[in-house]
Structure 1
Amino acid sequence: EPEKTTLTGFGHSAVMSVAGDVLKAIEDGNLKQLVLIGGCDGFEGERSYFTKLAQALPDEAAILTLGCGKFRVLNKTSGSAVIPNTGIPRVLDMGQCNDAYSAVHVATELAGALKCGVNDLPLSLALSWLEQKAVAVLLSLLHLGVKGIRVGPSAPAFVTPNIYKALQDGFDLKVVDADAAEADAAEMMRA
């Protein structure tokens, strides 16, 4: 079997150094969606949702990975290694959970360049939670007003039905259905 390699080091500075290329790819329609898949990993079979989600995304979607959940995605996507008509890799590893700040920084700078809010970007988020770091990332995103986040493979135990309803109503938070990765990918591409 041929050796597989993974490009890493796509933190804020690396991504922003090619921001012009990213913006042009968005404007030209070559890059239709940025999808952040990150968070914690675990042994539950339902976590294969995140692999299936990445595999269901078309070549016009860039996948940003973050945290241990990235190992559900790295070297497991199908399709092209780069966004069509660009030199931009389809999978960009942004680091560990503590690098979430870098991903938020990229999103806010892209929003500024496109003269829109973060929630108006062609950006979808799918967070795999297991421990406190992923919960801290989620709470930080909610504090920043980011909406439409998918979490899974189930809701954190401390999220009561009333809390979940408030998060759904205020932030359009969704708990993933382990069998709906393909449908979620299609919905993300329509966003």
Structure 2
Amino acid sequence: MVLLSEIAVEPAVVGDDLSAAAAVEAMTSAGVDALVVRSADGHVLAALDEPALATLADTDAPLAELADQMPALIVLGAEPDEFSDEELTDLAEMVSATSSPAVLLVGGARPVGVVFRRSLASALSLTSMAMDATRAGNPNVPALRYVCVKCTPPSFQLLRAPEPDGRAPSCTRLFHHGVMEAVR
């Protein structure tokens, strides 16, 4: 069992109208290691660390124009704070498959933290990693992993529990993309 609040860091939140260099400066002046980029309408485009941001720093273009070069966005609800070994392993698999540097934690509709890939790796228990190819679980439970294939790069969301009405969530990056697709 891991507490998300113990492995998450507080991010600086910037608009997508800043250049990558200005975003690095904002991150440095805020004294944080994580940056969340939001569009003018309030949708999150990316959760970045300094190395990911440095790959974008070659140009003076605003971050909005560089969105297709940003790493995949993985969104996770911050509540409940307790995260089981199985959930942590699921999340680590998703981060590994997407090469995303971080996972964005949201509370309500606002970013409340970022969990870096290295923090996930440190929190993983070796005993929780199954060495067989059998996947456990109930096939009657709806999917908890979703992807927006209309986003470039793709946007992912890992639900902590199925939606009450069983529907898939809408894209967290751009609402007009509509409903996300289940990842099995």
Indicate the structure with greater strand content: 2
Q: Which structure's relative contact order is higher, taking Cα pairs within 8 Å and 6+ residues apart?
A: 1
Task: Tell me if both proteins adopt one fold, taking TM over 0.5 as the criterion.
Answer: no
Which structure has the larger Rg over C-alpha atoms? 2
TM range (shorter): 0.3 to 0.5
TM-score when normalising by structure 1: 0.34
